[in-house]
Structure 1
């Protein structure tokens, strides 16, 4: 008798828990498994090579006449994380960017940038200078996203390449536009801040609102259906169940406050207000990514703006909750950085609406991706390319050792090479 009663109680509790689970499943799950999209991961793998190439370019351009010996390049590159002999093998991988040649007198190896690489640098500098007015607008909109109308100068300096700002943006962008920005030191700290002089209501329109209007005009979609919705495109292999579809349908129609709207006067204690604030945080990250040149930014840099934009503490989980809007990639830096892509801005690993600065930067990626077999190279470097690029054999270290010994001998026997004396 007791066993029968116990079985009936278990059945009732199982029905109750199942019904309760079904009712909870109508909300979007907090934690989701990240589904990979190879188009974005491949993009970051190329970006990883480009970042290393840019570091070497800066090292070479910092030298007199833009020429540096392989010995000195190896010693300097160790400061940025490269191992011994790794720099020589690295520059030989990209002959369309780096020109490795033998000195006619000293008989040692030197490195410089190719004409194509120098042309790409000049193209990027010109594009960066021409889009300064757009950069001013982006910074103004960034300050309008802040609830205080001010942002730390250091945070913008760290993300200056994302926003398309030159290295001297403090003078060329901020100080040159006193009608828009004001620089000041905080009283409580020694940090510098950029403050917005005056808000412009015409700039307070989110990009997603323009997308909705375009969808309404071009495709004739019902205005009420897309009034608060986002463009959702789930990655391949993402499992969408019945209750998840219901939850997304409800979430897409949930009203929320605009990221440019001041919410300090609202009562945010209710559950409905918290849900609206969560969706507002999605719109905030969406708008922040649209202000970047390549419509992507690392999660670590987004975290710098978390406090001033009222973003959640657990940003990674929050972004993974919206895998149809954002894509989180861990490729490109051994999983140490997390890059957030705006999915609607990309198609097959390329920007749908590329800008001039993005195209100039992609020129360098094209030079990096060209096969080294297509490069014309002297006979003295043929063995270097064959050993260092194709098979990655151990002979590269021995050959570079020979180059090092030749350079040391030339340094000891010659008084006219000032770089040898410094080394």
Structure 2
């Protein structure tokens, strides 16, 4: 052991930490890599906000149920055989051998199952579910003008004032876009935007773009400016408004970066609606403007929450950094990244008070009505709590009648649009653990 301790030495090589150690059996020097990098899930446990983790769990079941309701709604008679509905198993991430019929039977207030004379099992929606579908259509229609404004403002923030339609489609559920968004709705506001086709240069698939038609100065105002009342309708330029910050209750290191935080808050930044072509990637101005863009996008959503890789699809169009996850994690006073499952969700901290969204639009209230009808639990039970290191769904809802084995379910397994050329988040999956604690070192 003395010889091993004597030979042990630490060196720095390409930013990594290495040490040499003698193998007692072979008497050979082995080089082992030591790194301070950790997975995203491991590196920020001290900054987890349990209330927002519960919110993430709350919406997981809803999105699965809502997807099935949309599939059934698309059928002429609002009924579909279980055999054909099985095609949606991957979309709701229901692993075999668990039965889709068992999953549906757990919500008898929403789904009706019956067999025909040939023994084929069919599923339809209850009257309560049918009424909810009609109510959703009314609420989406009532919100149409507001959503058109948000889509226009996203186009106004983009470099070329146009964005591919399939990328905007990522926000359909998050912003409350109508079901016929691609086919009809995009043609409903010709004074704001238009649909244009672009032929692929390499002879591949042609793309459809939504292109800005008319710039509106009164819409080139951030949600933060509106709340402060500090805007005059001039062309967008530099802003000095501080982003509201809310740190995790168990995070004790804020006092160490207090002065740097104040400096960060006071630094001016370019409005998301101003031309950002001249900003240098990696500069302080570039990063703070990217924070403003993400703040604005999250403000447009129903739940002030997005799947993080939906944001990454807009990096080029909205001039945001390649490693967007790093920026979100660094500024954990403004954003909260929920790390449950394979797909991460980012929240706007200021929009929540504990588990409750502070301002709920009618579509969010509608979603809560659906949640109230999901699952049949019989007698009243204690409110659900979720272990922050577990991804187990509601046992009562997912447990099979014929198989009491616990189901392990991942986060919403929505398929990412094919054909997008954005980089994956592999580079963001590993990050030096010290980077978060040095969040505002260069601010």
Whether the TM-score (by the shorter chain) exceeds 0.5 is yes
**Residues 348, 366 of structure 1: alpha-carbon distance in 2 compared, 3 angstrom cutoff:** farther
Where 2:269 maps in the other structure, the secondary structure is coil
Q: Does 1:248 align with 2:261?
A: yes
Pick 1 or 2: higher relative contact order, CA cutoff 8 A, min separation 6. 1
State the match for 1:325 in structure 2. 334
Question: What aligned pairs does 1:368-387 form with structure 2 within 5 A after superposition?
Answer: 368=374, 371-373=377-379
Q: Secondary structure at the match of 1:229?
A: coil
Q: Does 2:148 match 1:136? A: yes
1:185 is aligned, of 184, 187, 197, to 197
CA displacement at 1:294 relative to structure 2: 1.9
Q: Report deviation, 1:241.
A: 4.2
Q: In structure 2, what is the equivalent of residue 212 of structure 1?
A: 228
Does the CA-based 8 Å contact 2:103-2:400 persist in structure 1? Answer: no
The 1:209/1:115 distance shift into structure 2, 3 A limit, reads same
**The structure with more radius of gyration:** 1
Say if 2:362 is the partner of 1:356: yes
List runs of 5+ in structure 2 lacking aligned partners.
1-41, 231-238, 381-394, 405-443
1:232 counterpart = 2:262: no
Partners of 1:363 and 1:390 lie apart in 2 by 17
State whether structure 2 residue 210 is matched by structure 1 residue 198: no
Partner Cα separation in structure 2 for residue 132 and residue 391 of structure 1: 35
Task: Provide the aligned C-alpha RMSD in A.
Answer: 3.0
Cα distance change, pair 302–143 in 1 and its aligned pair in 2 (3 A)? same
Take 1:391 and 1:138, find their aligned partners in 2: how far apart are those partners?
Answer: 36
Contact 2:52/2:338 (<8 A) preserved: yes
Higher helix fraction (1 or 2):
1
1:64–1:179 Cα change, 3 Å: closer
1:65-144 matches, cutoff 5 A = 65-68=77-80, 72=83, 75-78=86-89, 80=91, 81-82=93-94, 83-101=96-114, 110-144=122-156
2:319 corresponds to which of 291, 301, 310: 310
Structure 1: distance between partners of 2:71 and 2:348: 32
SS at match of 1:169: coil
Q: How many angstroms does 1:307 deviate by?
A: 0.7
Partner Cα distance (1:123, 1:130) in 2: 11
Give the stretch that moved more between structures: 198-207 or 175-184: 175-184
Of 388-397 and 142-151, more deviation after overlay is shown by 388-397
Shift of 1:344: 1.0
Counterparts in 2 of 1:174 and 1:60: CA distance versus 1, 3 Å: closer
Residue 351 (structure 2) pairs with residue 345 (structure 1):
yes
Structure 1 runs, 4 residues or longer, greater than 6 Å off: 105-108
CA positional deviation for 1:302: 0.4
The Cα shift of 1:239 comes to 2.4
Q: Return the alpha-carbon distance in structure 2 between the equivalents of residues 200 and 344 of structure 1.
A: 27
Query: What is the CA-CA distance between 1:351 and the residue it aligns to?
Result: 2.0
The structure with the largest strand share of the pair is: 2
Q: Which residue of 1 aligns with 2:308?
A: 299
Secondary structure of the 2:275 match is: coil
The SS at the match of 2:313 is: helix
Deviates more, 1:48-57 or 1:297-306: 48-57
What is the alpha-carbon distance in structure 1 between the residues aligned to residue 104 and residue 186 of structure 2? Answer: 37
| 2:166 alignment partner in structure 1 | 154
The farther-off stretch of 347-356 and 117-126 is: 347-356
Larger deviation, residues 365-374 vs 120-129: 365-374
Question: Which stretch of the first structure deviates more once superposed, 134-143 or 113-122?
Answer: 113-122
1:257 matched to 2:270? yes
Query: After superposition, what is the alpha-carbon deviation per residue over 1:317-355, rounded to whole angstroms, capped at 9, x for unaligned?
Result: 110111111111123xxx221111111112222221111
**Does the 8 A contact of 1:184 with 1:193 survive in 2?**
yes
Match of 2:427 in 1: none
Check conservation: 2:105, 2:111, Cα contact below 8 A. Answer: yes
Give the count of matched residue pairs.
Answer: 334
Q: Flag the 1:255–1:85 CA change in 2: closer, same or farther, 3 A.
A: closer
TM-score by length of 2: 0.68
